[in-house]
């Protein structure tokens, strides 16, 4: 039993690694460059201007925190992620070979493991990229920089500046820098994993394009409801993935418990994973 379990684990891991390598070699990976250009234009430039105006450095991790908490960014980045994963799971000849030789269940487990790996890779890539792009005006800090937290008090007449939208008071008044990084990274991973698992479920039910449509609707409605700060925004995963919307500016009592967002996103991901395994029998490799 132990040998069989170890062999099954190796098979699943081999499928995931093969899928990951194929993904990195695909033409869609150029979307990562598009993400970097967008992040630089929308976030890095703004933080550089903030640092220059305040005469103080910003925190190197504040770029990533801004990436996961800005209203405009949280529409574009999930949309780019969806474009990056649009052909997931791929249906090349090697996939049919895996299903015949190893079983559909192992192939599905390999696809889920690949999805986890792709999400972790993407979030890590965004963290490292934002840190590198901020090296000219940033420093490692254990708390939010004065350049960010004192900007509105130094320039009270500039309340509409974009920097105040990137890193709102709801964020740095309610949590430490380390906590903000942790929540932003984990919630972003769970959100992206949810989107990827929706694609996998729909493909296993032989309705791949329905999965793309479902993800697009989730992103669009999540963006609209979160931007409007509507009560029903908590029905969609986007609001749960943004740390600052869980809090008021000054009151310590959360608008929505952030632990509840972990349960929401984690619970849906777990349910989708179970559905994937249950759908193994219905999957037909040649159908779209």
The ranges assigned to domains in the chain are 2-282
**DSSP, res 139:** E
Give the pLDDT score at 9: 84
Give the pLDDT score at 161: 77
Residues in the chain: 288
E-assigned strand segments in the chain: 58-59, 138-139
d(CA 53, CA 154): 10
In DSSP terms, which residues pair with 58 in a beta bridge?
A: 138
Q: What is the mean pLDDT of residues 195-207?
A: 91
Mean pLDDT, the chain, integer: 86
E-assigned strand segments in 25-105: 58-59
pTM: 0.90
Among positive and negative, which fits the CA dihedral 160, 222, 167, 41? negative
pLDDT value at 284 more than 70: no
Q: pLDDT (tens digit, 9 = 90+) per residue, 224-250?
A: 898 888 889 999 999 999 998 988 877
**Where is average pLDDT lowest: 54-58, 102-106, 224-228?**
102-106
């Amino acid at each position: 039993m132990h040998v069989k379990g170890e062999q099954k684990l190796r098979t699943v891991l081999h499928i995931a690694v093969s899928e990951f390598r194929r993904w990195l070699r695909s033409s869609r990976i150029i979307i990562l460059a598009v993400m970097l250009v967008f992040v630089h234009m929308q976030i890095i430039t703004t933080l550089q201007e903030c640092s220059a105006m305040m005469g103080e450095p910003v925190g190197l991790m504040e770029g990533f925190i801004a990436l996961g908490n800005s209203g405009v960014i949280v529409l574009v980045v999930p949309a780019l992620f969806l474009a990056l994963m649009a052909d997931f799971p791929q249906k090349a000849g090697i996939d049919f070979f895996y299903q015949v030789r190893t079983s559909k269940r192992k192939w599905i487990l390999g696809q889920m493991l690949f999805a986890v790996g792709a999400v972790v890779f993407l979030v890590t890539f965004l963290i490292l990229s934002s840190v590198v792009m901020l090296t000219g005006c940033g420093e490692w800090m254990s708390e939010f920089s004065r350049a960010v937290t004192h900007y509105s008090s130094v320039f009270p007449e500039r309340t509409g500046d974009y920097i105040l939208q990137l890193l709102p008071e709801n964020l740095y008044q309610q949590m430490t820098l380390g906590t903000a990084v942790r929540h932003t990274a984990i919630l972003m991973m769970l959100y992206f994993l949810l989107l990827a698992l929706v694609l996998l479920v729909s493909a296993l039910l032989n309705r791949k394009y329905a999965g793309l449509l479902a993800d697009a609707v989730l992103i669009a409605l999540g963006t609209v409801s979160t931007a409007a700060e509507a009560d029903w925004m908590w029905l969609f995963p986007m609001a749960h993935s943004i740390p600052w919307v869980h809090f008021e500016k000054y009151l310590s009592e959360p608008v929505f418990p952030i632990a509840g967002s972990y349960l929401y996103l984690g619970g849906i991901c777990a349910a989708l994973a179970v559905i994937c395994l249950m759908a193994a029998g219905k999957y037909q490799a040649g159908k779209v």
